[in-house]
Amino acid sequence: MMNELRIENIHAAYSKKEVLRGVSLSVKQGEIVALIGPNGAGKSTLLKVIAGFLKPLQGNLWLDSKDITSFAAHERIGQGIAYFMQGGRVFPNLTVAENLEMGLATLSLQNKKDGISTVLEIFSNLKVSLNRRAGLLSGGERQALALAMVLVRRPHLLLADEPSVGLSPKLVQRLLGKIHELNSIWGTTILLVEQNIREALNIAHGALALVNGEVALETVQPEEWLTNGQLEQLFLGRTQEAIAK
């Protein structure tokens, strides 16, 4: 199974503006790594690069020992990578079941049924709404559906860009609880970008703080960041630095 991600010295830019300045990280098989950092730090850009939607200027990406740097986005999906884009969307006029099928468009009917039934084991709340139009779901259910849509192929590696954005604290807990279940039940390796830092660090095995396109801080004991004040210092210090520039 190909599911340990390693990236090394990734540089990326939009036209002339460099946004990632030599980012290296690894997410070990079966782990959740939380990626946090202020707005504009380059978190979404990094996920775009890993998913294959933005070509890096420099640097390499590996899945286990396979160099996937030159792989197109669809080839990375074929390698078991799933990408939940920031602001994940559903098709409001399709039913929940049809939305889930959209994630499986190219598979045979039996494989579709299997994919959908496994994802419903985790997102069991969606079972009762299978024939409802997605546009009629509550915000929390809609976001769970958007996440379920990228999981129907049972990926080895999930890249999730702020899956809980806009949800109430209770629903944030619930959605991140699902991500935790996904990791512990399926063993899915997960790189999780989150603004809900405390909740993300609570389920993560490792964490990285990205500031100005660079890894500013890294830990394999994310819970420490919750208690030692390092995080507050980093966010305050660096954002003020950035403002002063």
Residues forming the site for ligand ADP (CB under 6 A): 14, 19, 37, 39-45
CB 63 within 8 A of CB 4: yes
C-beta of 17 vs 170, nearer to ligand ADP: 17
Site string for Mg ion, 83-122 (x = CB under 5 A): ---x------------------------------------
C-beta of 44 vs 143, nearer to Mg ion: 44
- Interface pick for Mg ion out of 44, 99, 164, 188 (rule CB under 5 A): 44
**Residue 14 interacting entry, from Mg ion, ligand ADP, none, C-beta within 5 to 8 Å by type:** ligand ADP
| Spatial distance between the Cα atoms of 81 and 189, rounded to a whole number of angstroms | 10
**Residue 230 interacting entry, from Mg ion, ligand ADP, none, C-beta within 5 to 8 Å by type:** none
Break the chain down into helix, strand, coil percent, rounded to 5.
40, 25, 30
* Residue 45 touching Mg ion (CB under 5 A): no
Phi, psi (degrees; rounded to nearest 5) at 85: -70, 150
Question: What contacts 190, CB < 8 A, 6 or more positions away?
Answer: 27, 31, 32, 33, 157, 158, 160, 179, 182, 183
C-beta of 104 vs 167, nearer to ligand ADP: 167
Q: Say whether 243 sits in a helix, a strand or coil.
A: helix
**Edge-first strand listing for the sheet containing 17-27:** 17-27, 5-14, 58-63, 66-67
| Spatial distance between the Cα atoms of 107 and 113, rounded to a whole number of angstroms | 10
C-beta of 99 vs 164, nearer to Mg ion: 164
Number of residues that bind Mg ion (CB under 5 A): 3
C-beta of 48 vs 112, nearer to ligand ADP: 48
**Residue 19 interacting entry, from ligand ADP, Mg ion, none, C-beta within 5 to 8 Å by type:** ligand ADP
